[in-house]
Amino acid sequence: MKQSLIFLLTLILFACGPAVEQEEASQSRPNIIFIMSDDHAYQAISAYSNRLIETPNIDRIARRGMLFTNACVTNSICAPSRATILTGKHNHLNGKIDNRMPFDTTQITFPQIFQANGYQTAMFGKLHFGNNPKGVDEFKILPGQGNYINPRFITNEGDTTITGYVTDIITDLTLNWLKDERKEDEPFLMMYLHKAPHRPWWPRPDKFAEFTKKRFPLPETLFDSYENRGSAAKTAEMNLLTHMMYSHDSKIRPETLEEMGESVQPSVREFRNSFYGPYGRANEAQKAAYKPVLDSINDFFKANWPEMTDREKMIWKYQRYMQDYLASISSVDDNVGRLLDYLDESGLAENTIVVYTSDQGFFLGEHGWFDKRFIYNESFKTPLLVRWPGVVEEGSINTQMVQNLDFAQTFLDAAGMDAPQDMQGESLLPLLKGKEETWEREAVYYHYYEYPAVHMVKRHYGIVTEEYKLAHFYHDVDEWELYNRLKDPNELNNVYAEPEYAEIVSKLKEDLKGLRKKYKDSVELDQRYIDLYNQ
């Protein structure tokens, strides 16, 4: 009797022991797939709103995980956002204040810590850093902004050009690594980074054909006149009517413009390269696939543009913009679906954290704009969806003001590693586990620098709380703007000078000073970065 009991117990131990251990080990060392697109506005993800597009695959992440409705960036522009994500520090400390400043590669980035702690690490897609990533075992990254059609990649073994459409290719590389190159017995960190839907929005030919048939609802503020705003909004160069380019953006061939004359778009020759740069990469078969759609856009333009009013031109440009931008996103969504399917089929899904985000938000015609850079909502906020089976409650929604500054510490925490003391974010783990009580943040800090530069958005820093947004445009001008986020969600009325807000202004100014101190930003640093720029 005793003997058979011991036998039975031994059997149970052998049967369950390793499985239990494995499960515990994998819970504490989950795989992480960090999916980031470039310029993907939250307005164009149906988990947030299906006004513009259905993104059923990206939505799967939120359905099985958490949707953050108030995630935001510290500086709404590409390379600075990536530097913040990798270092867990604001740009005034990591030095990558804009797309042009070099990144000091002696700084610690979170993939290096993963690699040092026995994670396999890989990165595919757009980094946009000016240097190769550190801490990744394998990478294939686009040089700079990269190309949509037949893109070139920088790899450990030199450069290579791959025929096809960039979003599909980045996914092929990612899936290939997951399927064939990864060691199955070690956890991994995968950085899967899309170029789409960055300007100049070249969709794959089939999506191009599909989306040019669609029409999209106009944003309420498409015809914004920038009244009751500061001079930064008035002088920015990102208005659809005035600054969006017919050739580069709206896909009007330079030949069409030349035929129609200089009145359509002055100095059209300058833009020849910006059309044929991206499109000229297509081979004959690819060009044949684009041709019918390009023909119909160009024929319509030639026949109608001369009679169009400014209002009609604005609407036509908006529709063309949305067609290409959303068609590019549709490919991202399909490819996210391919990845999620593989995770399900392979059983990896159970122990893999999947994050979907963008390097910043984007204006989709709100305030008449495209691009980003401003502290205003559409560019300041960014999508964030996180799935972690068994840890994050399915279908949960979080409304806290979390930032890209928090990502590094969150991932390190999730994998049980200590974050360096000088990282400035906070781990989102308590929020992911549904423990909001411990979350104390009431305000976030923002600082944008790239000026003078393309789109001409003036430098500014600011504080954002649930109720207010106070921004200081301190360079070129000395102007303050205050928006009541609850009463004026479209941010159309700067109430900074209104007497009834005087007390709020002085309280927010104190809090902003506090944040600048906490994060070690200062007037001296502001000036140093202006001086550096002018050299």
Stretch that binds Ca ion, among 75-83, 139-147, 274-282, 524-532 (CB under 5 A): 75-83
Largest CA distance in the chain: 100
Element (H, E) at 126: strand 120-126
Angle value at C-alpha 390, between 387 and 396, nearest 5 degrees: 50
Cβ at position 370, least distance to Ca ion in Å: 12
Out of 88, 133, 187, 200, name the contact with ligand SGN by CB under 6 A.
200
Q: Which residues pair with 397 in a beta bridge?
A: 67
Out of 59, 366, 371, 526, name the contact with ligand SGN by CB under 6 A.
371
Per CB under 5 A, contacts with Ca ion among 341-360 are: 359
For Ca ion, the closer of residues 73 and 113 by Cβ is: 73
Site string for ligand SGN, 246-285 (x = CB under 6 A): --x-------------------------x-----------
Q: Tally Cβ neighbours within 10 Å of residue 493.
A: 16
DSSP letter (8 states) at residue 458: P
**DSSP helix/strand/coil, 412:** helix
For residue 123, the partner it binds in Ca ion, ligand SGN, none, with Cβ less than 5 to 8 A by kind, is none
CB of 167 closer than 8 Å to CB of 215: no
Site string for Ca ion, 434-453 (x = CB under 5 A): --------------------
For Ca ion, the closer of residues 387 and 447 by Cβ is: 447
Stretch that binds ligand SGN, among 198-206, 223-231, 406-414, 417-425 (CB under 6 A): 198-206
**Spatial separation of the C-alpha atoms in residues 378 and 366, rounded to whole Å:** 8
Q: Is 455 in the site for ligand SGN (CB under 6 A)?
A: yes
Q: Is 387 in the site for ligand SGN (CB under 6 A)?
A: no
Q: Is 78 in the site for Ca ion (CB under 5 A)?
A: yes
For residue 454, the partner it binds in Ca ion, ligand SGN, none, with Cβ less than 5 to 8 A by kind, is ligand SGN
Q: How far is CA 392 from the centre of its chain?
A: 22
Q: Print burial letters for 48-86: b (CB count within 10 Å at least 16), e (below 16).
A: beeebbebebbbbbbebbbbbebbbbbbbbbbbbbbbbb
Out of 29, 39, 318, 404, name the contact with ligand SGN by CB under 6 A.
39
CA distances to 413, 431, 514 from 442, rounded to whole Å, are 22, 14, 12
Given 3-state DSSP classes, what are the helix, strand and coil percentages for the chain, each rounded to the nearest 5? 45, 15, 40
Q: Is 425 left (phi over 0), alpha (psi -120 to 50) or beta?
A: beta
Q: Is 77 in the site for ligand SGN (CB under 6 A)?
A: yes
Pull the structure tokens for residue 44. 């164009």
Per CB under 6 A, contacts with ligand SGN among 230-249 are: 248
Q: Which residues pair with 481 in a beta bridge?
A: 471
For Ca ion, the closer of residues 31 and 357 by Cβ is: 357
With CB atoms as reference, the residue minimizing the distance to ligand SGN is 78
Stretch that binds ligand SGN, among 133-141, 196-204, 493-501, 527-535 (CB under 6 A): 196-204
With CB atoms as reference, the residue minimizing the distance to Ca ion is 78
For Ca ion, the closer of residues 224 and 450 by Cβ is: 450
411 burial class (0-12, 13-18, 19+ CB within 10 angstroms)?
Answer: buried
CB of 469 closer than 8 Å to CB of 486: no
For residue 126, the partner it binds in ligand SGN, Ca ion, none, with Cβ less than 5 to 8 A by kind, is none
Per CB under 6 A, contacts with ligand SGN among 153-192 are: none
Stretch that binds Ca ion, among 27-35, 37-45, 394-402, 525-533 (CB under 5 A): 37-45
Out of 37, 38, 323, 464, name the contact with Ca ion by CB under 5 A.
38
Cβ at position 460, least distance to ligand SGN in Å: 16
Cβ at position 39, least distance to Ca ion in Å: 4
Stretch that binds ligand SGN, among 193-201, 300-308, 499-507, 510-518 (CB under 6 A): 193-201
Shortest CA distance to 451 belongs to which of 231, 132, 215?
231
For residue 98, the partner it binds in ligand SGN, Ca ion, none, with Cβ less than 5 to 8 A by kind, is none
**DSSP helix/strand/coil, 101:** coil
Pull the structure tokens for residue 351. 């122990």
Residues in touch with ligand SGN (CB under 6 A): 38-39, 77-78, 99, 128, 145, 198-200, 248, 274, 371, 454-455
